[in-house]
Protein backbone atom coordinates (compact mmCIF):
# COMPACT_ATOMS: atom_id res chain seq x y z
CA UNK A 1 0.00 0.00 0.00
CA UNK A 2 2.73 2.42 -0.98
CA UNK A 3 1.38 5.78 -2.13
CA UNK A 4 4.73 6.93 -3.54
CA UNK A 5 6.35 4.57 -6.08
CA UNK A 6 9.83 5.98 -5.46
CA UNK A 7 9.92 4.55 -1.93
CA UNK A 8 10.18 0.77 -1.68
CA UNK A 9 7.40 -1.03 0.13
CA UNK A 10 9.89 -2.61 2.53
CA UNK A 11 10.82 0.82 3.94
CA UNK A 12 7.24 1.76 4.82
CA UNK A 13 7.51 0.34 8.32
CA UNK A 14 10.31 2.75 9.30
CA UNK A 15 7.95 5.73 9.68
CA UNK A 16 10.73 8.34 9.58
CA UNK A 17 9.43 11.02 7.20
CA UNK A 18 11.69 14.08 6.74
CA UNK A 19 8.78 16.48 7.14
CA UNK A 20 5.19 16.28 8.24
CA UNK A 21 3.85 16.45 4.67
CA UNK A 22 5.61 13.15 3.90
CA UNK A 23 3.52 11.29 6.49
CA UNK A 24 1.17 10.11 3.73
CA UNK A 25 3.92 8.22 1.87
CA UNK A 26 2.97 4.93 3.48
CA UNK A 27 -0.09 3.79 5.32
CA UNK A 28 0.54 3.41 9.01
CA UNK A 29 1.13 -0.22 9.79
CA UNK A 30 1.78 -1.55 13.24
CA UNK A 31 3.63 -4.63 12.08
CA UNK A 32 7.10 -3.09 12.14
CA UNK A 33 7.25 -2.05 15.80
CA UNK A 34 5.22 -5.09 16.82
CA UNK A 35 7.61 -7.45 15.06
CA UNK A 36 10.56 -5.77 16.75
CA UNK A 37 8.84 -6.03 20.13
CA UNK A 38 8.12 -9.74 19.64
CA UNK A 39 11.73 -10.63 18.81
CA UNK A 40 12.74 -10.56 22.47
CA UNK A 41 11.20 -12.30 25.42
CA UNK A 42 7.99 -13.47 23.74
CA UNK A 43 9.98 -15.32 21.08
CA UNK A 44 12.09 -17.04 23.72
CA UNK A 45 9.04 -17.93 25.77
CA UNK A 46 7.23 -19.48 22.80
CA UNK A 47 10.27 -21.66 22.09
CA UNK A 48 10.76 -22.63 25.72
CA UNK A 49 7.26 -23.99 26.29
CA UNK A 50 7.43 -26.85 23.73
CA UNK A 51 10.97 -27.64 24.89
CA UNK A 52 9.71 -27.90 28.46
CA UNK A 53 6.94 -30.22 27.29
CA UNK A 54 9.48 -32.36 25.42
CA UNK A 55 11.74 -32.55 28.46
CA UNK A 56 8.79 -33.86 30.48
CA UNK A 57 8.49 -36.95 28.29
CA UNK A 58 9.75 -40.11 29.97
CA UNK A 59 13.05 -41.23 28.34
CA UNK A 60 12.03 -44.84 28.88
CA UNK A 61 9.49 -44.41 26.08
CA UNK A 62 12.24 -43.54 23.63
CA UNK A 63 14.44 -46.37 24.88
CA UNK A 64 11.70 -48.96 24.51
CA UNK A 65 10.83 -47.63 21.03
CA UNK A 66 14.50 -47.90 20.01
CA UNK A 67 14.62 -51.48 21.29
CA UNK A 68 11.50 -52.25 19.26
CA UNK A 69 13.24 -50.92 16.14
CA UNK A 70 11.68 -47.47 15.76
CA UNK A 71 13.72 -44.85 13.96
CA UNK A 72 13.83 -41.15 14.90
CA UNK A 73 10.91 -40.27 12.61
CA UNK A 74 8.72 -42.93 14.20
CA UNK A 75 9.69 -41.68 17.66
CA UNK A 76 8.79 -38.14 16.63
CA UNK A 77 5.43 -39.11 15.15
CA UNK A 78 4.34 -41.61 17.79
CA UNK A 79 5.92 -40.35 21.03
CA UNK A 80 6.99 -36.70 20.87
CA UNK A 81 4.13 -35.08 18.95
CA UNK A 82 1.30 -36.81 20.86
CA UNK A 83 2.96 -35.87 24.18
CA UNK A 84 3.44 -32.16 23.37
CA UNK A 85 0.15 -31.69 21.48
CA UNK A 86 -1.90 -30.68 24.57
CA UNK A 87 0.46 -27.84 25.50
CA UNK A 88 0.73 -26.70 21.88
CA UNK A 89 -3.06 -26.63 21.55
CA UNK A 90 -3.48 -24.63 24.75
CA UNK A 91 -0.92 -22.13 23.48
CA UNK A 92 -2.88 -21.93 20.20
CA UNK A 93 -6.13 -21.23 22.03
CA UNK A 94 -4.48 -18.53 24.14
CA UNK A 95 -3.03 -16.92 21.02
CA UNK A 96 -6.47 -16.93 19.38
CA UNK A 97 -7.83 -15.18 22.47
CA UNK A 98 -5.71 -12.16 21.57
CA UNK A 99 -6.90 -12.12 17.96
CA UNK A 100 -9.08 -9.04 18.40
CA UNK A 101 -6.65 -7.17 20.62
CA UNK A 102 -4.72 -4.48 18.76
CA UNK A 103 -2.01 -3.30 21.19
CA UNK A 104 -3.86 -0.20 22.35
CA UNK A 105 -0.88 1.29 24.18
CA UNK A 106 1.44 1.06 21.19
CA UNK A 107 -1.08 2.51 18.75
CA UNK A 108 -2.25 5.24 21.11
CA UNK A 109 1.28 6.42 21.81
CA UNK A 110 2.27 6.51 18.13
CA UNK A 111 -0.66 8.16 16.41
CA UNK A 112 -1.61 11.82 16.22
CA UNK A 113 -4.00 13.98 14.18
CA UNK A 114 -1.90 13.60 11.03
CA UNK A 115 -2.18 9.81 10.94
CA UNK A 116 -5.62 9.52 12.53
CA UNK A 117 -7.33 8.57 9.26
CA UNK A 118 -4.96 5.67 8.57
CA UNK A 119 -3.62 4.70 12.00
CA UNK A 120 -6.84 4.40 13.97
CA UNK A 121 -7.76 0.92 15.20
CA UNK A 122 -10.91 -0.24 16.94
CA UNK A 123 -9.57 0.01 20.49
CA UNK A 124 -8.31 3.57 20.03
CA UNK A 125 -11.57 4.54 18.33
CA UNK A 126 -13.53 3.18 21.29
CA UNK A 127 -11.33 5.14 23.67
CA UNK A 128 -11.67 8.28 21.59
CA UNK A 129 -15.47 8.21 21.48
CA UNK A 130 -15.86 7.45 25.16
CA UNK A 131 -13.06 9.16 27.07
CA UNK A 132 -11.06 10.95 24.41
CA UNK A 133 -11.49 14.39 22.97
CA UNK A 134 -14.66 13.88 20.91
CA UNK A 135 -17.17 13.37 23.69
CA UNK A 136 -18.69 10.99 26.12
CA UNK A 137 -20.53 8.42 24.05
CA UNK A 138 -20.42 5.69 26.68
CA UNK A 139 -23.35 3.69 25.27
CA UNK A 140 -21.76 3.16 21.87
CA UNK A 141 -18.32 2.37 23.28
CA UNK A 142 -19.79 -0.13 25.75
CA UNK A 143 -21.74 -1.83 22.99
CA UNK A 144 -18.68 -1.98 20.75
CA UNK A 145 -16.55 -3.47 23.53
CA UNK A 146 -19.27 -6.01 24.28
CA UNK A 147 -19.42 -7.10 20.63
CA UNK A 148 -15.62 -7.22 20.39
CA UNK A 149 -15.26 -9.36 23.52
CA UNK A 150 -18.17 -11.59 22.50
CA UNK A 151 -16.47 -12.27 19.18
CA UNK A 152 -13.26 -13.14 21.07
CA UNK A 153 -15.18 -15.51 23.35
CA UNK A 154 -16.79 -17.20 20.34
CA UNK A 155 -13.37 -17.71 18.72
CA UNK A 156 -11.94 -19.19 21.94
CA UNK A 157 -14.91 -21.51 22.45
CA UNK A 158 -14.79 -22.59 18.79
CA UNK A 159 -11.06 -23.29 19.00
CA UNK A 160 -11.57 -25.23 22.23
CA UNK A 161 -14.31 -27.31 20.61
CA UNK A 162 -12.02 -27.97 17.62
CA UNK A 163 -9.20 -29.06 19.94
CA UNK A 164 -11.56 -31.41 21.80
CA UNK A 165 -12.54 -32.98 18.45
CA UNK A 166 -8.85 -33.86 18.00
CA UNK A 167 -8.97 -35.85 21.27
CA UNK A 168 -6.70 -33.35 22.97
CA UNK A 169 -7.53 -31.69 26.26
CA UNK A 170 -8.53 -28.07 25.77
CA UNK A 171 -8.78 -25.24 28.25
CA UNK A 172 -12.07 -26.37 29.81
Query: Using one digit for the tens of pLDDT, what is the confidence trace for 8-59?
Result: 444 444 444 444 444 444 444 444 555 445 544 555 556 788 888 899 999 9
* Alpha-carbon gap, residue 54 to 157, rounded angstroms: 27
Residues 6+ apart with CB under 8 A from 50: 84, 87, 88
Mean pLDDT, rounded, for 91-111: 81
* Alpha-carbon gap, residue 118 to 32, rounded angstroms: 15
Residue 65 contacts residue 74 (beta carbons within 8 Å)? yes
Query: Using one digit for the tens of pLDDT, what is the confidence trace for 145-165?
Result: 999 999 999 999 999 999 999
pLDDT at position 5 is: 47
* Alpha-carbon gap, residue 25 to 8, rounded angstroms: 10
* Alpha-carbon gap, residue 158 to 136, rounded angstroms: 35
* Alpha-carbon gap, residue 31 to 110, rounded angstroms: 13
pLDDT at position 57 is: 93
Q: What phi and psi, each to the nearest 5 degrees, are found at residue 2?
A: -90, 125
Q: Is the pLDDT of residue 98 over 50?
A: yes
Q: How confident is the model at residue 73 (pLDDT cuts 50, 70, 90)?
A: very high
pLDDT at position 9 is: 45
Amino acid sequence: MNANPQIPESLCFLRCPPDISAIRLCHVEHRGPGAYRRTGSAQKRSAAEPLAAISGIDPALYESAAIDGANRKDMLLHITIPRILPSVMIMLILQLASLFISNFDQVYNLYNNYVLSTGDVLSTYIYRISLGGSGTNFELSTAMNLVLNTMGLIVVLGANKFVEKLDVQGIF
